[in-house]
C-alpha cells in the first residue's frame, strides 16, 4: 500500500513540475482517440462576431495575466481522466484544496467506475463528506459511473455531448475534463471566471453557460483552457469577491471598474 501511495504521489508531482498534466491516452467510446471537433454550441459561439473594444480589452488582460501567472494550471490533483471527472464533481461549492485532501485517500480506494457503483451509498457519502453536499454528490458519482460502464465501457469519453449526458456533469465539468485530461480547449466557467468576466465587462450574463458563450469569441480557441486557469488564479490572488486588491491589480489599468 505504501509503495502504491508513493508511486501515485510521484506521478502527480512529476506532472506538476511539467506545468500541467499530460494528455491522457484514453479513447472515446466513438473512436480510438479523443476528438478535437468542437460541439455545435462552441462552434456557433466561437464564430459570433465579438464587440471589437471588448475583445481588445479581453486579449490585453489575458496577455497580462498570462505573464503574471506563467504556471497557471488546473489546481485539482489527478492522474487519469476518471480521477479528474470525480474531482471536478466534488469541487462543486468546495475549494480545490479540500477536494485534493479528500481525493488523496479516495483515489486509492476507488480505482474504477465499478468501485463507486459497488460501494454502499452511505459509505461513499462518508468518504466524501467533507466536500459538502455529500449525499447529492455521492448520487451523482454513482449515476455518472453507471453511465460510464453502460455507455462507454467504463472509459471517460473525450466528447462534450457524451460527457454532459453523464449524471452530475454539466458544461463546466466537461470543459475541465476535456481541457485538462485530453487537451481539447474549453472555457471552464467556475465562480472565479464568472465573477471576473462580469467585473471586467466581458459579459452581463449570470448563467455560466451564457457567460461561456460570451467569452468564446473573445479569446482564441486554442487558449480557452489557459484563459480559464489564469482568470481563476487572478481571482484567488487579487480579484476576490469581497475586498479585491485593486491597488495591486496587474490589470487595473484595463478594468472598467477602475478606469
Residues 148-188 have pLDDT tens digits of: 999 999 999 999 999 999 988 999 999 999 999 999 999 99
Instruction: Please count the other Cβ atoms lying within 10 Å of the Cβ belonging to residue 242.
Output: 4
Domain CATH number, residue 151 = 1.10.340.30
Among the candidates 147, 181, 215, a domain finishes at 181
Q: Report which DSSP code applies to 89.
A: H
Angle formed at CA 251 by CA 248 and CA 255, multiple of 5 degrees: 110
9, part of any domain: no
Q: What are phi and psi of 130, to 5 degrees?
A: -70, -5
What is the pLDDT at residue 82?
A: 98
169 with 196, same domain: the answer is: no
220 with 155, same domain: the answer is: no
113 with 197, same domain: the answer is: no
Cβ–Cβ under 8 Å, residues 197 and 231: yes
Gap between the Cα atoms of 163 and 158, Å rounded: 7
Reference 88, options 27, 11, 25, 166; nearest CA is 166
**Among 172, 209, 222, 257, which one carries the catalytic annotation?**
172
Is 210 tagged catalytic?
no
Instruction: Please count the other Cβ atoms lying within 10 Å of the Cβ belonging to residue 161.
Output: 12
Average pLDDT over residues 59-78: 98
Gap between the Cα atoms of 145 and 123, Å rounded: 16
What is the pLDDT at residue 158?
A: 97
High-pLDDT (> 70) share of the chain, %: 81
127, part of any domain: yes
Q: Is the pLDDT of residue 211 over 80?
A: yes
pTM score: 0.83
Cβ–Cβ under 8 Å, residues 182 and 31: no
Cβ–Cβ under 8 Å, residues 58 and 180: no
* DSSP letters spanning 58-116: HHHHHHHHHHH-TT----S--SSHHHHHHHHHHTTTS-HHHHHHHHHHHHHH--SHHHH
Cβ–Cβ under 8 Å, residues 79 and 15: yes
Among the candidates 181, 206, 226, a domain finishes at 181
Cβ–Cβ under 8 Å, residues 258 and 247: no
| Confidence class for position 24, pLDDT limits 50, 70, 90 | very low
Average pLDDT over residues 198-214: 96
| Confidence class for position 29, pLDDT limits 50, 70, 90 | very low
Is 190 tagged catalytic?
yes
The count of domains in the chain is: 2
66 with 108, same domain: the answer is: no
66, part of any domain: yes
**Among 127, 190, 214, 233, which one carries the catalytic annotation?**
190
Is the sign of the CA dihedral 155, 158, 167, 106 positive or negative?
Answer: positive
Cβ–Cβ under 8 Å, residues 65 and 251: yes
30, part of any domain: no
Among the candidates 181, 203, 228, a domain finishes at 181
Structural domain span for residue 235: 40-73+186-248
164 with 118, same domain: the answer is: yes
99 with 166, same domain: the answer is: yes
Amino acid at each position: 500500500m505504501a509503495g502504491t501511495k508513493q508511486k501515485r504521489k510521484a506521478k502527480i508531482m512529476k506532472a506538476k513540475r511539467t506545468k500541467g498534466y499530460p494528455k491522457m491516452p484514453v479513447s472515446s467510446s466513438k473512436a480510438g482517440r479523443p476528438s478535437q471537433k468542437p460541439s455545435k454550441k462552441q462552434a456557433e459561439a466561437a464564430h459570433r462576431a465579438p464587440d471589437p473594444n471588448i475583445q481588445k480589452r479581453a486579449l490585453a488582460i489575458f496577455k497580462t495575466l498570462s505573464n503574471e501567472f506563467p504556471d497557471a494550471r488546473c489546481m485539482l490533483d489527478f492522474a487519469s481522466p476518471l480521477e479528474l471527472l470525480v474531482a471536478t464533481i466534488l469541487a462543486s461549492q468546495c475549494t480545490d484544496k479540500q477536494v485534493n485532501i479528500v481525493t488523496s485517500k479516495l483515489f486509492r480506494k476507488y480505482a474504477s467506475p465499478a468501485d463507486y457503483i459497488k460501494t454502499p451509498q452511505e459509505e461513499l457519502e462518508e468518504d466524501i463528506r467533507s466536500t459538502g453536499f455529500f449525499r447529492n454528490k455521492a448520487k451523482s458519482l454513482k449515476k455518472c459511473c453507471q453511465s460510464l460502464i453502460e455507455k462507454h465501457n467504463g472509459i471517460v469519453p473525450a466528447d462534450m455531448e457524451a460527457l454532459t449526458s453523464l449524471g452530475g456533469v454539466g458544461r463546466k465539468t466537461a470543459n475541465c475534463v476535456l481541457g485538462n485530461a485530453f487537451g481539447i480547449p474549453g472555457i471552464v466557467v467556475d465562480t472565479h471566471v464568472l465573477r471576473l468576466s462580469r467585473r471586467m465587462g466581458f459579459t452581463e450574463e449570470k448563467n455560466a453557460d451564457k457567460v461561456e458563450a460570451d467569452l468564446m469569441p473573445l479569446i482564441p480557441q486554442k487558449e480557452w483552457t489557459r484563459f480559464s486557469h489564469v482568470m481563476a488564479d487572478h481571482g484567488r490572488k487579487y480579484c476576490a469577491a469581497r475586498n479585491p486588491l485593486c491597488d495591486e491589480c496587474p490589470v487595473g489599468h484595463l478594468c472598467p471598474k477602475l478606469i
